[in-house]
Chain A
Amino acid sequence: MKFTLLINEGPYQHQASDTAYQFAKAALAKGHEIYRVFFYNDGVNNATRLAIPPQDDRNITENWAALAKEHELDMVVCIAAAQRRGMLDADEAGRQGKDADNIHPAFRISGLGQLVEGGIQADRLLTFGD
């Protein structure tokens, strides 16, 4: 089956991203396809490359990045939600005249249309959040 995952909560504060990650890993191991992982609301914060969790804890962003690399996952961060929260990639930082960027290269920034398209293309769209 083909899944699109929607993650609406930020890392560590909420388990949504962890649960989605565990689901994605299990689904891929069973031979299912993850069409897209879309990060929205505070979920965009999962894409920060600057987080430094304690060494004995999981690193949520790096977990996603490793899974994405292994399975060529398409991980998309909503641009409108990201801008509101100060999440920028280098291109966007340049465009907006900001002096820093913080999005991990395993993620890409795009529009909400990618979420709707993910819902159209997948057999199931699963939401992780409240």
Chain B
Amino acid sequence: MSENIKKFMFVNTKAPYGTVYALESLEVVLISAAFDQSVSLVFCDDGVFQIANNQNTEASGMKNFSPAYKALGDYDINKIYVETESLEERGLTLDNIMALTYEDEDDDWAEKSSIIPVTRAELADLMDEQDVVISS
């Protein structure tokens, strides 16, 4: 690993369609994959709704960009932390979250889940390890 590799964490705290933050954060994440950095994502607070199953935006006229999260695995972005307290506070469980996966090149390309449930306290420790945290 080159000494120039930094740990980037993108923290998503807002619901997907009320504001543009979720969509434009995803755009940064996809670009960051081209820079060979260590990239992880966090979904907490209302941000957990960004990766909720079965999104349908037809009635609101918004573009449903949630299928794009499924491409993250292809970009080698496979550390997707979901804060468990945020799920519980909103009456959600991991069953309500999209099955985001990646193919593990070190394990004969086995398909594995990118979703990592973490507690609020664990998330604080993870943030402490990062070089760059970008939240919206």
Give chain A's interface residues, CB within 8 Å of chain B.
6, 8, 40-42, 80-81, 111-113, 115-117, 119-120, 125, 127, 129-130
Contacts and interface: CB of A to CB of B under 8 A. Distances in A.
Interface stretch (B20-28, B90-98, B107-115): B20-28
Contact of B37 (A111, A112, A116): A116
Given A113-B34, A115-B31, A116-B31, 17 more contacts: A6-B134, A8-B136, A41-B24, A41-B136, A42-B20, A80-B27, A112-B28, A113-B31, A113-B35, A116-B8, A116-B32, A116-B34, A116-B35, A119-B8, A119-B134, A129-B136, A130-B136
Contacts of B28: 40, 112, 115-116
Chain B's interface: helix, strand, loop or mixed, by majority? mixed
B132 interface: yes
B135 interface: yes
A81 B21 CA distance: 11
A77 to B, nearest CB: 13
B39 to A, nearest CB: 9
Interface size grouping (class) on chain B: 10 to 19
Contacts of B32: 116
A129 B11 CA distance: 14
Contacts of A113: 31, 34-35
Interface string B1-26: 00010101000000000001100100
A9 to B, nearest CB: 10
Contacts of B27: 80, 112
Contacts of A42: 20
Interface string B108-135: 0000000000000000000000011011
A41 B33 CA distance: 20
Contacts of B35: 113, 116-117, 120
